[in-house]
Amino acid sequence: MFTQKFQAWVRRWAERLVGVFRDSPITPNMLTLFGLVITGVGALLVAMGDLLVGGVVLAFAGLFDIFDGALARASGKVYRYGAFLDSTVDRYSEGVVYLGILIYFLDQHDGLRPIIVLIALAGSFLVSYVRARAQSLGFTCDVGILARPERVVIIVAGLLLESVGLKIGGWTP
């Protein structure tokens, strides 16, 4: 969904920003794992009903998913293990976020929304699985809808809108 020009701009911006950490003891894997911790904090805030702060924390956590790869490229530490760790942690991060949203909706006794959250989680994991499976079979799979960056933006926007009283999806079950 995001244009290639926008993605290239974000990549250049992130690589310039993390350049100061190129020679530091901070590794890309540290940023990946720290991003997971911050995501957990954001999801916990969402589960407890603090959607505004939770959404802001999740947006901040999303930066670490940009910075870890940028630091790997800037420091010459691009390794297959790091890519594997990043993909794995991305799935855990998504699961934790959806769990936080699910708990929030269950606590609100919010009709069908918990079911919608579970469907969204399955769809989210399926997008990643289909891409990985296609690539393992030798197909090029660099197109699709709602890749991780788009999903993060939609979730954060939904949380922020819900926090000011605009119901996600515009309807109340």
For 21-70, write each residue's pLDDT tens digit.
888 899 999 999 999 999 999 999 999 999 999 999 999 999 999 999 99
Q: Which two tokens stand for residue 111?
A: 């009709």
Question: Are 163 and 52 in contact, with CB atoms under 8 Å apart?
Answer: yes
Picking from 8, 14, 12, the residue whose alpha carbon sits closest to that of residue 35 is 14
Sort residue 145 into left (φ over 0), alpha (ψ -120 to 50) or beta. beta
- Give, as one character, the DSSP assignment of residue 31: H
Say how far apart CA 40 and CA 96 lie, in whole Å: 6
Using 50, 70 and 90 to split pLDDT, how confident is the model at 3?
Answer: low
CATH of domain 7-19+26-170: 1.20.120.1760
For 119-131, write each residue's pLDDT tens digit.
999 999 998 888 8
Close Cβ partners of 133 (under 8 Å, ≥ 6 residues apart): none
For the chain, give every domain's residue range.
Answer: 7-19+26-170
Question: Are 99 and 155 in contact, with CB atoms under 8 Å apart?
Answer: no
- Whole-model pTM: value is 0.88
